């Protein structure tokens, strides 16, 4: 199964959320970088939705970095990645549906309806 990577739009939405949470708490980039053990340059890139400025690669932070950022921003990881949760859930559901089809099964009809 391929490793899902965030789209440029998802990465920008994540970066905007990260910046919003930081600014809502009146934290500087320097403070968040230091407390999260992330370089100032990397944090700045994340807030712009990038992992590499020259290549314009969408941000794709590791789980450990997300956990440290959430802790520093005094929130939980779900709030931090809120802009991504719906699209990632849909992507995961599509992968399960595809796997069921390949196995000759019908996708579960209530999977998406169960979200409420």
Closest C-alpha to 19, from 37, 33, 5:
33
CATH number of the structural domain spanning residue 40: 1.10.260.40
In this structure, is residue 116 part of a structural domain? no
The pLDDT tens digits of the residues spanning 46-89 come to 999 999 888 889 998 999 999 999 999 999 998 888 877 665 55
Q: Provide the number of structural domains found in the chain.
A: 1
What is the C-alpha to C-alpha distance for residues 33 and 39, in angstroms, rounded to an integer? 6
In this structure, is residue 94 part of a structural domain? no
What's the sign of the alpha-carbon dihedral 6, 7, 8, 9? negative
In this structure, is residue 31 part of a structural domain? yes
In this structure, is residue 61 part of a structural domain? yes
Name the residue range of residue 57's domain. 8-83
**Mean pLDDT: which of 27-41, 56-70, 93-107 is highest?**
27-41
Cα distances from 40 to residues 22, 73, 101, 108, in angstroms, run: 13, 15, 45, 45
In this structure, is residue 109 part of a structural domain? no
Confidence of residue 3 (pLDDT cuts 50, 70, 90): low
In this structure, is residue 92 part of a structural domain? no
What is the C-alpha to C-alpha distance for residues 70 and 101, in angstroms, rounded to an integer? 37
- Residue pair 77/68 in contact (Cβ under 8 Å)? The answer is no
In this structure, is residue 40 part of a structural domain? yes
In this structure, is residue 24 part of a structural domain? yes
What is the C-alpha to C-alpha distance for residues 66 and 38, in angstroms, rounded to an integer? 10
Given a cut of 60, whether residue 13 has pLDDT beyond it is yes
The lowest-confidence range among 20-29, 31-40, 74-83, 103-112 is 103-112
């Amino acid at each position: 199964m391929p490793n899902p990577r965030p789209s440029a739009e998802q990465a920008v939405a994540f970066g905007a959320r990260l910046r919003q949470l930081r600014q809502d708490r009146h934290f500087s980039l320097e403070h968040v970088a230091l407390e999260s053990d992330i370089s100032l340059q990397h944090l700045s890139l994340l807030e712009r939705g990038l992992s590499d400025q020259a290549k314009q690669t969408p941000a794709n932070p590791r789980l450990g970095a997300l956990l440290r950022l959430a802790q520093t921003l005094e929130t939980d990881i779900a709030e931090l990645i809120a802009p991504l949760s719906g699209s990632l859930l849909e992507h995961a559901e599509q992968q399960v549906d595809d796997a069921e089809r390949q196995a000759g099964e019908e996708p579960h009809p209530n999977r998406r309806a169960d979200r409420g």
